[in-house]
Amino acid sequence: TYSLEQNNYTSDNSFTNLEPGIYTLYLIDGNGCESFYPFEILKTESIIIDLGQDITIPYNSTVQLNADVQNGNPPYSIQWVSDAGSNFSCLDSCLNPIVSNITNSFVATIIVEDSDGCMGSSSIQVFLKNQYNLYVPEAFSPNNDQVNDRLDIYGDSELEILSFQIFNRSGTKIYESNSMIQNQVDTGWDGTMRNSPMEQGAYLWLIIARQPDGKEIRFRGQTLLLK
């Protein structure tokens, strides 16, 4: 039979939920002989994993994740879990994997288990930043002199223009095109509404575009219509 601190001898040799400290295990064998075995349960600190702040990177770029593991008893068993796992240089036994050719934002979680079976985990988010730019001139003059007669869009050709909208200062939409292509001259707004010339002044514009990864982004600004 077994007992901790000679309290309540039992045939069960399992003792659970013990706090850190020094204990003595007593045993009585079939001949009634008693023996004892002192032991100590050490206080262990929870495993802490620091992955740093969330990261924002350009489209189709590479990033290295860095995990700083504190506490626990090495060696550690390491496992990374992520939707972008196929882009990782390694998913186990490494604290600093390199993630390549990133085309979507993702979450990476590291799970660490020490030699005593204690576990800890931490996650980090990697976002894609809007690295694309579209440019609309600050002014144009639709006076049929063949110079800046239309308000066109310029910029990264990787973007698909879904909508180009023009608003007056009161917020009324006066123009929209769903077939604009950037960097093509004299294909944009001609300064009219229902074939009637608009007054000189400032107008607001909105561009809705689609990135190569399928995500939509918006650009806003204003332009000056000159006579």
pLDDT digits (tens, 9 = 90+) for 94-116: 999 999 999 888 999 999 999 98
Whole-angstrom distance, CA of residue 188 vs CA of residue 205: 12
What topology does CATH give the domain 134-225? Immunoglobulin-like (2.60.40)
Q: Do domains 48-128 and 134-225 have the same CATH topology?
A: yes
The region that residue 115 occupies, defined by phi over 0 for left and psi between -120 and 50 for alpha, beta otherwise, is alpha
Query: Which residues make beta-bridge pairs with 204?
Result: 167, 222
Q: What is the pLDDT of residue 174?
A: 95
Structure-block tokens of residue 46: 């929870």
Please write the tens of the pLDDT for every residue from 191-224: 999 999 999 999 999 999 998 878 888 899 999 9
Please write the tens of the pLDDT for every residue from 111-158: 999 998 889 999 999 987 766 788 999 999 999 888 899 999 999 888
Q: What is the pLDDT of residue 130?
A: 63
What topology does CATH give the domain 48-128? Immunoglobulin-like (2.60.40)
* Burial zone of 61 (CB within 10 Å; 0-12 exposed, 13-18 middle, 19+ buried): middle
Within 10 Å of residue 161's Cβ, how many Cβ atoms?
19
Whole-angstrom distance, CA of residue 72 vs CA of residue 48: 8
Q: What is the pLDDT of residue 42?
A: 75
Please write the tens of the pLDDT for every residue from 56-99: 888 788 999 999 999 988 999 999 999 899 999 999 989 999 99
Domain map of the chain by residue range? 2-41, 48-128, 134-225
- 3 state DSSP class of 223: strand
